[in-house]
């Protein structure tokens, strides 16, 4: 664990992952530096969601190495709690706990898992609610909130753990078009604050605006990557060009 901030915060090396017969990742490598925002794009089924789920050890990998701040994720004796304190994750389906209010959802993990002081956590949780612009919704249950509001609670819930890295797994894919903007704004502000972010997204305009680096995956491999400007305007690989022409 001799990680220093000048080394990559997340270092993925030659990762292979298969679900039974189906090989989803066929040797993926990428590095993320501290404070960097990277976007992973690509057609559905190309393994991009699987990749970031592996970073959080929600899926295990068969081969390769994933280092998060120097901690090896591909390790049978992995301290999952240690890893998950560092890595926050937001899902496509929000996955809030439906029987807890927005505030309770945010406070639950710090209090239960990290055994932090309850009243201090509450102060912090209220700050986070303010940050995601949901003042007044503290005592609402997830079922009473719109999709965009639920997703912002989910972001606040992850932030309450004070993670170093945030993973976003197609967080706007299930939202109504009119609420996509409010969630993207929240993520953008987060990125501007210097949070290290890995996003899987279909929002190309957003990726272009916030990302420092864009990776394009297809068939379990990274086909092409680069800074947004070169990636979107001067894509070399025909697969990338075809994908972009369909999307844009």
Among 8, 35, 147, 219, binds another protein (CB under 8 A): 147
Contact between 85 and another protein by CB under 8 A: the answer reads yes
| Partners of 177 in beta bridges | none
- Positive or negative torsion for Cα 125, 59, 172, 196: positive
Distance of CA 245 to the CA centre of its chain: 26
Strand order across the 71-72 sheet: 22-32, 10-19, 63-68, 71-72
3-state secondary structure 215-239: EEEECCEEEEEECHHHHHHCCCCHH
| Partners of 169 in beta bridges | 200
Contact between 95 and another protein by CB under 8 A: the answer reads yes
Among 75, 114, 117, 229, binds another protein (CB under 8 A): 114
* Cβ atoms of 199 and 207 closer than 8 Å: yes
Among 112, 177, 238, 248, binds another protein (CB under 8 A): 112
Contact between 84 and another protein by CB under 8 A: the answer reads yes
Contact between 157 and another protein by CB under 8 A: the answer reads yes
Q: Which is nearer to another protein, 5 or 143 (CB)?
A: 143
Q: Which is nearer to another protein, 48 or 84 (CB)?
A: 84
Contact between 158 and another protein by CB under 8 A: the answer reads yes
Binding residues vs another protein (CB under 8 A)? 56, 58, 80-81, 84-85, 87-89, 91, 93-99, 108-109, 112-114, 140-147, 154, 157-158, 161, 174, 176
């Amino acid at each position: 664990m001799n990680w220093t901030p000048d080394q990559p915060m997340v270092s993925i090396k030659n990762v292979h992952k298969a679900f039974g017969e189906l090989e989803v990742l066929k040797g993926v490598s990428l590095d993320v530096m501290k404070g960097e925002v990277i976007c992973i794009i690509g057609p559905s089924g190309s393994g991009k969601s699987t990749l970031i789920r592996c970073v959080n050890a929600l899926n295990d990998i068969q081969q390769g190495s994933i280092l998060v701040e120097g901690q090896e994720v591909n390790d049978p004796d992995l301290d999952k709690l240690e890893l998950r304190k560092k890595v926050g994750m937001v899902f496509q389906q929000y996955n809030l706990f439906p029987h807890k209010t927005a505030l309770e959802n945010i406070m639950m993990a710090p209090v239960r898992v990290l055994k932090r002081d309850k009243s201090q956590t509450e102060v912090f949780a209220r700050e986070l609610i303010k940050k995601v612009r949901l003042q007044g919704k503290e005592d609402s249950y997830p079922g009473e909130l719109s999709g965009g509001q639920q997703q912002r609670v989910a972001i606040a819930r992850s932030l309450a753990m004070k993670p170093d890295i945030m993973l976003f797994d197609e967080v706007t894919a299930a939202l109504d078009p009119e609420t996509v903007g409010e969630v993207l704004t929240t993520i953008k502000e987060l990125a501007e604050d210097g949070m290290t972010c890995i996003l899987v997204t279909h929002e190309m305009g957003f990726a272009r605006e916030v990302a420092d680096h864009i990776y394009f995956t297809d068939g379990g491999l990274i086909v092409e990557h680069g800074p947004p400007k070169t990636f979107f305007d001067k894509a070399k690989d025909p697969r990338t060009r075809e994908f972009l022409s369909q999307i844009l």
